[in-house]
Structure 1
Amino acid sequence: MPVAERVVRWWRERPDATAFRLPGHRIGYGELAERAAAVAAGLRPRRPGRPLLAIDVGNSPAFAELVVGGTAGDGACAVLDPAWPPARTAEVLRRLRPDLVVTSRPVETDAPVLVVGDSYEDWLDGLRGVDPARELAPGDPGSTFLIGFTSGTSGLPKAFSRARGTWRASLAHARDVFGVGPDDHILAPGPLSHGLGLYALVEALHEGAAFATLPRFDAGAVRAGLGSVTRLVVVPTMLRGLHRELAAAPGPYPGVTAIVSSGAKLDPATLARARAFFPHAHVHEYYGASELSFVTVRHTPPDAGADGDPDAVGLPFPGVELEVRDPEGRAVPTGTPGEVHVRGPLVSSGYVWGDDGQAFRTDGEWATVGDHGWLDDAGGLHLVGRAGSMVITGGHNVYPGEVEEALRRLDGVEDAVVVGRPDEYLGSVLVAVVTGPGAFDLTQAEVLRRSADHLPRHKVPRRVYAAREWPLTRSGKTARARIEEWIDHGDSRLVQLPA
């Protein structure tokens, strides 16, 4: 793994320091290294050189040792989502053909299976006592250490592979870019099977910091643990849930000195509340994709003024180059929208399966996932949407993302989804769904009036619904496909705003 040798370093230098924590469970760097070394020793004979471990344990006490041990040397791990239905898990395992599956639930597979809390502990006990320095050796930078999965609401997720060198290149900048250090106590309360949480864990182990998570996101549990936390790693929806929990609790929380957010753009209202509750926190937002890794980073220091540019996603991550291209593949001038292309050492090796030639495309050293945006004079990236999501309404090209960002700026609105739907006159009409404490107080006319400062009239949705509930994926992102189904089926969870 990109951090196996770093875990060995902390095993030697600070074995008693906390490495990984869950409620009721704590493991120090010394014990973590010893248990991870046992995992590595047990895997090596199964496929000499490059064994593949499938991890299906969720946010469990065994997660960190499985990831470190499974990716030691040139080993690789595939981190499965425990929320997948059994049939999807079975198909993923059939395609992966792993050398070992460690799971917390019954699975259908021809591969050998160990169950955490049962046969896994017996297996590990028989391997304890091996030398971490020997077993947790670094691997070839070009070898695969991770098979990840794109998030999806249905069907088989795409599987992509990532070489060690890509994460080593990003981890080399962890302290400079995000400011993480060995004295940090990091809380990432989301699922570790998703990129945000997994990378946060690896980054913490790389720097020798203390990493904590929860069995599942729980705003009350996050609030209860804030007294010992210096860094929060969250998606915006988690911050909004936490804000509701903190509204009735004493604050602020000056001990939190950093917030790392990704998965969606932080809307101005959520950012403002975060800065009120955590006045000493430096907010780091990053834009990226599973296939691209980090693309840009945006920093908001505690003393920064309000920023009126909601589509700005920051400057390129160190070593990353950006180019915006027109439909013919030609670079466009500064300020001109187009398809965002990325070049640098962080890009993944591509898909193991599921490559449709659209979601992730390469052109020599350049790669794109189809996002559209433009570059400003300082080299900062501004996103406007994804090519496939563009709506043509009344002859105008509209990216739903820019409309969603404008709607999130309205008082009382926390999140928004905008889609195009067929219309006899306009070709397509923009339809929006909003949520937040003031969503049901809005009218269509009020949305039009209050959006005038941010949107031309043709980009204001013709129909707006307030949502009685807001569906989320397990990673905390908005479940857009479900909201679209609600729109199409006239679901009672949506209430159309009056004129």
Structure 2
Amino acid sequence: MEQSPVSRRVMNLAYWLTQNARRLPNRPALVWREQTWSWTELDARVSALASVLAAKGVAPKSAVLVHSKNSNEMLESMLACFRLGAVWVPTNFRIMPDEIVYMADVAQPRVLLCQTDFPEHAAAVKAARPDTDILWLVGEQAAAADYPLLADLLQERLGTHMEDAPVESDAACWLFFTSGTTGRPKAAVLTHGQMAFVITNHLCDLLPGSTERDGSLVVAPLSHGAGVHQLNMIARGGQTVLLSTERFDVDEAFELIERHRLSNMFTVPTVLKLMVEHPAAQQRDHSSLRYVIYAGAPMYAEDQKRALACLGKVLVQYYGLGEVTGNITVLPAHEHEADGRPGTCGYERTGMQVSVQDDEGNELGNGQTGELCVIGPAVFAGYYNNPDANAQAFRNGWFRTGDLGYRDAEGYLYITGRASDMYISGGSNIYPREIEEKILTHEAISEVAIVGVPDPKWGEVGIAVCVCYAGHQVSEAELLAWMAERIAKYKLPRKVVFWDALPKSAYGKVPKRLVKDELERRGVVLASAAPAAASKDGARRAAH
């Protein structure tokens, strides 16, 4: 029996702020540098900011582009957009001016909120879209006189009450731009209804038992996964604590955890590795931590063991993409065992279903490697104004992640790599991750990334880029000989190079694209080979 819904109206996400201001008026909501805002104060500032935006013509469904490092104003802008029923469009603050112009062309914002540290970005948007109003957010640089300072306009409107706008379940609240590893970023549409499920699921599967007495340290840009994670604390009335600057300082991170008795944080494996290997991990009290959530990339088994030894059983892993809002699998703290299931990213999240599929969309059996595809309420509403990308991303209702992996007999999932990371050498599919895991068991190797590069004889061969621990060294010949005793011959990298560090994205990941670019820049890989490699990567991504 079919029946049309009587109503599709849902809670506006900003209502969490409304609730907290009523129930927890004086508890700390946000801490940045030496300033703390209570829930009453944060609610008042968000209403004032929403009033400023409304006066600039921002209405339900309007887009507001935000280019800023983490700050109180960055988080306030998210909640103000939600309150108005508008669409928050945050950027990666490290992008170039031409890239923000591209994002503005896609989103068509009514207003750009731009931190004063980025005058070139504001100028580029204004030149390309003269009708866009620009307001300065407070940064390290003084504000230029060409645009008003949001803080001044907000101060004038403090005391203005703004109701949470009525919204429907499919009303967009956030354009989440992907990282653009295979071309220009795409704008994933996140909605009020979807995000309410996502946060409920996060609290159920990642942060069970969270209350207003919990607190979270933000070590990543609020524009992406960290922003989603902070909504967990907002939903529960817990406090959010920001690092003082965009530069990740391990000493400061542990000092803030100790000072505020913070119970959780969200990060990526490379940053977690930095933290547990830093002297501050032994010098500071981090016993308040209950959940250290890591995602964004699989964590190597050796790094996971070190983190468990340092922090205890507080690690929570999840696997997810921006398009599924970090909501595909979970490996909770009690299942992080050194002798457990090495390499697993956990099991399906509550309300979500994963299918391992072949190139034709047929479901594969246990132990068979294929593309991980997913359905469930956390899946985004599609790419904004991009029907071609939507057609490629969905098949028979399943969202295609582009990640390769398999399921074991008990339902635990294992990621073997991105479809684009796999390379074909002598007709055999090579998955770098399993080789990287082996190399990381060598006592001298701290980090490693293996990429496939074109080869006239074998089609492609692997190059291993390694970083040694301080005070350790090993030669290429020694490491290759060591690998030969542990890795099948056809999987062995053809060459090993040693660098001081691996290139990382703004979010602390190690994209293989950046590794390939750096190999080319250093002359290890000929530039003339790059187009062939790129075309093969593109063909694989289309095939998977």
TM-score (norm 1): 0.90
Aligned to 1:232: 265
Write the distance in 2 (CA, Å) between the matches of 1:267 and 1:69.
39
CA contact (8 A) 1:72 1:139 kept: no
Write the distance in 1 (CA, Å) between the matches of 2:375 and 2:83.
28
CA contact (8 A) 1:252 1:276 kept: no
1:252 to 1:407, Cα distance in 2 relative to 1, 3 A:
farther
Query: 2:164 pairs with 112, 130, 136, which one?
Result: 136
Write the distance in 1 (CA, Å) between the matches of 2:35 and 2:184.
33
1:349 to 1:409, Cα distance in 2 relative to 1, 3 A:
farther
How far is the alpha carbon of 1:271 from its aligned partner? 1.9
Aligned to 1:497: none
Write the distance in 2 (CA, Å) between the matches of 1:391 and 1:358.
26
CA contact (8 A) 2:446 2:468 kept: yes
1:225 to 1:306, Cα distance in 2 relative to 1, 3 A:
same
Write the distance in 2 (CA, Å) between the matches of 1:298 and 1:452.
32
Aligned to 1:32: 42
1:297 to 1:359, Cα distance in 2 relative to 1, 3 A:
farther
The percent of aligned pairs where both chains have the same amino acid is 24
Aligned to 2:100: 89
Q: Which runs of 4+ in 1 moved over 6 A?
A: none
Q: How does 1:27-426 map to 2 (within 5 A)?
A: 27-44=37-54, 46-104=57-115, 105-106=118-119, 107=122, 108-109=125-126, 110=130, 111-117=132-138, 119-132=149-162, 135-137=163-165, 139-152=167-180, 156-179=184-207, 180-194=210-224, 196-214=225-243, 215-216=245-246, 217-227=248-258, 228-246=261-279, 249-250=282-283, 253-279=286-312, 281-293=313-325, 294-301=327-334, 305-307=337-339, 309-352=341-384, 357=389, 361-426=393-458
1:384 to 1:21, Cα distance in 2 relative to 1, 3 A:
same
Aligned to 2:508: 476
1:441 to 1:205, Cα distance in 2 relative to 1, 3 A:
same
Q: Does 1:488 align with 2:520?
A: yes
Secondary structure of 2:278's partner? Answer: helix
Secondary structure of 2:384's partner? Answer: strand
Aligned to 1:5: 15
Bigger Cα displacement from structure 2, 256-265 vs 95-104: 95-104
Look up the equivalent residue of 2:40 and give its one-letter code: G
Write the distance in 1 (CA, Å) between the matches of 2:40 and 2:170.
28
How far is the alpha carbon of 1:480 from its aligned partner? 2.8
CA contact (8 A) 1:326 1:338 kept: yes
Write the distance in 2 (CA, Å) between the matches of 1:192 and 1:384.
28
Aligned to 2:5: none
How far is the alpha carbon of 1:320 from its aligned partner? 0.8
Secondary structure of 1:40's partner? Answer: helix
How far is the alpha carbon of 1:98 from its aligned partner? 1.0
Measured against aligned partners, the alpha-carbon deviations of 1:404-433 in whole angstroms (never above 9, x if no partner) come to: 333334334333211112233322211111
Please list every run of 5 or more consecutive structure 1 residues that lacks an aligned counterpart in the other structure: 493-499
Look up the equivalent residue of 2:506 and give its one-letter code: R
1:360 to 1:407, Cα distance in 2 relative to 1, 3 A:
farther
How far is the alpha carbon of 1:87 from its aligned partner? 2.2
Measured against aligned partners, the alpha-carbon deviations of 1:370-409 in whole angstroms (never above 9, x if no partner) come to: 2111111111111112223321112211122332333334
CA contact (8 A) 2:71 2:242 kept: no
Look up the equivalent residue of 2:37 and give its one-letter code: I
How far is the alpha carbon of 1:182 from its aligned partner? 1.9
Write the distance in 1 (CA, Å) between the matches of 2:346 and 2:502.
28
Measured against aligned partners, the alpha-carbon deviations of 1:115-167 in whole angstroms (never above 9, x if no partner) come to: 124620222133322335xx234521110000011124797422221112111
Aligned to 1:495: none
Write the distance in 2 (CA, Å) between the matches of 1:261 and 1:400.
21
How far is the alpha carbon of 1:448 from its aligned partner? 5.0
Secondary structure of 1:403's partner? Answer: helix
CA contact (8 A) 2:356 2:369 kept: yes
Write the distance in 1 (CA, Å) between the matches of 2:250 and 2:387.
37
Write the distance in 2 (CA, Å) between the matches of 1:444 and 1:152.
36
1:77 to 1:358, Cα distance in 2 relative to 1, 3 A:
closer
1:119 to 1:248, Cα distance in 2 relative to 1, 3 A:
closer
1:393 to 1:114, Cα distance in 2 relative to 1, 3 A:
same
Write the distance in 1 (CA, Å) between the matches of 2:392 and 2:441.
31
More helix by share: 2
Secondary structure of 2:518's partner? Answer: helix
Secondary structure of 2:367's partner? Answer: coil
Look up the equivalent residue of 1:269 and give its one-letter code: E
Secondary structure of 2:445's partner? Answer: coil
1:247 to 1:307, Cα distance in 2 relative to 1, 3 A:
farther
Look up the equivalent residue of 2:253 and give its one-letter code: V
Aligned to 2:27: 17
Write the distance in 1 (CA, Å) between the matches of 2:186 and 2:391.
10
How far is the alpha carbon of 1:336 from its aligned partner? 0.9
Write the distance in 1 (CA, Å) between the matches of 2:149 and 2:523.
46
Bigger Cα displacement from structure 2, 34-43 vs 160-169: 34-43
Please list every run of 5 or more consecutive structure 2 residues that lacks an aligned counterpart in the other structure: 1-10, 139-147, 525-544
Write the distance in 1 (CA, Å) between the matches of 2:181 and 2:249.
22
CA contact (8 A) 1:406 1:451 kept: no
Query: 1:467 pairs with 471, 496, 499, which one?
Result: 499
Measured against aligned partners, the alpha-carbon deviations of 1:451-491 in whole angstroms (never above 9, x if no partner) come to: 755x4332221212221222211111114323212323445
Write the distance in 2 (CA, Å) between the matches of 1:422 and 1:4.
51
How far is the alpha carbon of 1:450 from its aligned partner? 5.1
Write the distance in 2 (CA, Å) between the matches of 1:359 and 1:420.
28
Alignment length (residue pairs): 487
Write the distance in 2 (CA, Å) between the matches of 1:450 and 1:308.
24
Write the distance in 1 (CA, Å) between the matches of 2:372 and 2:430.
17
The alignment yields a C-alpha RMSD, in angstroms, of 2.6
TM-score (norm 2): 0.83
